[in-house]
Amino acid sequence: MDIKNEIKKRKTFAIISHPDAGKTTLTEKLLLFGGAIREAGTVKGKKSGKFATSDWMKVEQERGISVTSSVMQFDFDGYKINILDTPGHEDFSEDTYRTLMAVDSAVMVIDAAKGIEPQTLKLFKVCKMRGIPIFTFINKLDRMGKEPFELLEEIESTLEIETYPMTWPIGMGPSFFGIINRRDRTITPFREEDKLTLDDDYQLAEPHKIEADSAYRDSIDEFMLVEEAGDEFDKEKIAKGDLTPVFFGSALSTFGIEEFLDTYVDFAPQPTGRETTEGQEIDPTDDDFSGFIFKIQANMDPKHRDRLAFMRVVSGKFTRGMDATLARNKKKSKITRATMFMADDKETINEAYAGDIIGLYDTGNYQIGDTLYSGKKREYVDLPQFTPELFMKVSAKNVMKQKHFYKGIEQLVQEGAIQYYKSMHTNQPILGAVGQLQFEVFEHRMKNEYNTDIIMEPVGKKIARWVENEEDIKDSMNSPRANLVYDRYDQQVFLFENDFAMRWFADKYPEIKLYSLL
């Protein structure tokens, strides 16, 4: 099989949004539409005991939120589409940030009633920084929401990006009739099966009762205005992330998704390359296989205590049983087990190409950011790590469970959602996180996956700073206001009580060079 043709078939995107905008529902309906799953459970269906297929973790099912990144693949129109459903909750933005490093485009889901929300803005900025194309799906049109022009204006002014509506809604809420498809000048009704066709003068080719409706006439007037005065369609601007194609629909009703997918596969980029630590851009069609680990997930199947490393294939072709070198320690090993994902299902695969996301079974060899390669030596640039702001002392409630306790900490820390520290002299475990929910999920998983109840004692909000010149650190510099601890790599870290304490330390010890992560 020609590697170049296989790579051209790949489209890999992340879905980003504020919690409850419908991101997980859209993910699931895309899978349903692509024939990947037969029946959709929704996050709303808690009474029936059904949950969105991509929200597999028990804590997600209980809360109706996503706190992990799910990876799924399905076929559509001759393409292999890889979706990464990212955590919506802001406390897990670090996981989302890393996931966005593994995709070539993003789909931004916006609630029609709420418009741009804080988490959407934060994630959009990451996409913009990377210059990746963004496609926008304005959701929940079957409920009352903001007017379409108001939503477009909000996207353009808040996100500083041009918009190009690919579809246009007719009505909303109870009077939602359907959408006008700009590409082929048809109307797809929300409750009827047959499409309606518009002529060059925006009139219906066949008479229909909708013509007497005032919402319909208003929508046609708006659509004509968009055609005449809106931004022009520009493929280059889409490719640079400077213009976003916009779609209107209802993910819960699987409406507007076909129009989105048809356009997405036509204009989303095929797999892009990645930069090595030596500043070289590796092309996806390079003959030598390479990839990087952007996520590690323990216990996706609690019965088997499995641990999977999620890898983005950057170049060439992956073949099961191949030898690959881990760039960090130069160790070569045979990869005998790899999977593709279908929501909470996974199947063993024999080959994968640049753009694909695969899961490697891991016994503890891999770390987030690791590069794997065969052939020419290469190592990709590090993935970002956030500086935590909240800290907790943690210990096992039952001292007889210390083995389970430390195993659980080790594995969950390696997933990257929480960071591990220990006090200087007593080695007391301290956890650091970007948000409170990370601690709650940690406690939940320790109990459910490692059968260990834990005691968590808040240390509070601290300013963490790493030390560049560790050899100059003295024990006397350690104090309650500038607490010196070690991270999981035994690097020295000061936890400052506040900005004043950090400035006081800098004035007193100007020779100590401190730095933060992202």
Binding-site positions for GTP: 17-24, 85-89, 139-142
Residue listed under structure tokens 């001292």: 399
Q: How many residues does the chain have?
A: 518
Q: Which residues pair with 454 in a beta bridge?
A: 396
Single-letter amino acid code for the residue at 514: L
* Angle at alpha carbon of residue 82, lines to 98 and 123, rounded to 5°: 35
CB atoms within 10 A of CB 21: 28
**Distance between CA atoms of residues 343 and 85, nearest Å:** 10
Under a CB-based contact definition with an 8 Å cutoff, are residues 24 and 85 in contact? yes
Under a CB-based contact definition with an 8 Å cutoff, are residues 114 and 26 in contact? no
Residues 6+ apart with CB under 8 A from 119: 17, 18, 19, 88, 89, 90, 93
**Distance between CA atoms of residues 418 and 409, nearest Å:** 9
Please give the full DSSP string across 216-251, using - where no structure is assigned: HHHHHHHHHHHHHHSPPP-HHHHHHTSEEEEEE-BT
Burial of residue 48 (CB within 10 Å: 0-12, 13-18, 19+) is exposed
Reading the block at residue 320, the tokens are 């099961």
Single-letter amino acid code for the residue at 312: R
Task: Encode 178-199: b = buried (16+ Cβ within 10 Å), e = exposed.
Answer: bbbbbeeebbbbbeeeeebebe
Single-letter amino acid code for the residue at 396: A
Which residues are known binding-site members? 17-24, 85-89, 139-142
Burial of residue 281 (CB within 10 Å: 0-12, 13-18, 19+) is exposed
